[in-house]
Amino acid sequence: IWGDLDEMTLVFANTFTIASGLVKLAFCTRDRGLYSALARRLDALLSVQRAVCSEDPELASILRGSRKQAASLTVGMLLMMFSQGFVWFPIPVVAHPGERRLPFAQHNWDNNTNYYGLSYAVQCVAGVYLSQISFGMDCLFAAIMIIVAAELKILSCRIVKLEADDISKQVGESDDRLGDTTLRARQKPYSNLCQCIETHQNILRFVVRLQNTMSPIAMT
């Protein structure tokens, strides 16, 4: 019923890859504004803690590390998939010379005799293009999640470092000016804690928006 099992397995695997790429391309085209808004919101989220990171080398290293990891993952995955084409596409010509084999699906109705060159080129181009789209969308969301996780890690470090400056032990209480300084110094940790809570709420809101945007893509 199924014919050659190896050929059918290859056809099904390629069909799923092409279909996944087409579905993701359709979502990306339809929801282009949604993805643009997601990128803007991510940039706004990063700007909230950007000033803090610029003042603390440890926090800055966390942010740099997340960006480097996200970039390496994206470039590495896309280059790996792109490089597979140079290995896979010439195989029919090298392994089966003169048999007019196609890279993925064979045209059994005419034994690959009609438009062989065009069919070969279409399968190669479609395979590379749609696989790049499919993996590119996955890498996009993976990179965003890496950066958001880094933002949460930065936030946790900020909370750990919150310490009340006990200036009252260092200054006299008789000086009103120093008393005001003490009060302001004690209010600063509370203000920083409020900023951390607000940042955490912003991150959670972004995660919800990311989940809503990513859910249709995750199903493909």
Which tens digits make up the pLDDT trace of 197-214?
999 999 999 999 999 888
CA–CA separation, 208 and 37 (whole Å): 14
CA–CA separation, 7 and 194 (whole Å): 61
pLDDT score, position 220: 65
CA–CA separation, 82 and 94 (whole Å): 19
138-158: buried (b, 16+ CB within 10 Å) or exposed (e) per residue?
bbbbbbbebbbebbeebbeeb
Please say whether the beta carbons of 104 and 14 come within 8 A: yes
pLDDT score, position 179: 54
pLDDT score, position 153: 95
Please say whether the beta carbons of 134 and 17 come within 8 A: yes
Sequence ranges of the domains in the chain: 5-218
pLDDT score, position 181: 54
Q: Which long-range contacts (CB under 8 A, 24 or more apart) does 198-207 make?
A: 199/48, 199/49, 199/151, 199/155, 200/155, 202/45, 202/48, 203/45, 203/148, 203/151, 203/152, 203/155, 206/41, 206/42, 206/45, 206/148, 207/148
Q: Is 101 in a helix, a strand, or coil?
A: coil
Of 20, 113, 117, nearest to 103 by C-alpha is 117
pLDDT by 10s per residue, the chain, length 220: 455 677 788 788 888 888 888 988 888 888 888 888 999 999 999 999 998 999 889 999 999 999 999 999 999 999 998 888 888 888 888 887 878 888 888 887 777 778 888 888 988 888 888 888 888 888 999 999 999 999 999 999 988 887 644 443 444 444 445 455 555 556 677 788 889 999 999 999 999 999 988 887 876 6
Task: Indicate whether this model's pTM tops 0.85.
Answer: no
What is the DSSP annotation of 1-21? ----HHHHHHHHHHHHHHHHH
Q: CB neighbours (10 Å) of residue 134?
A: 23
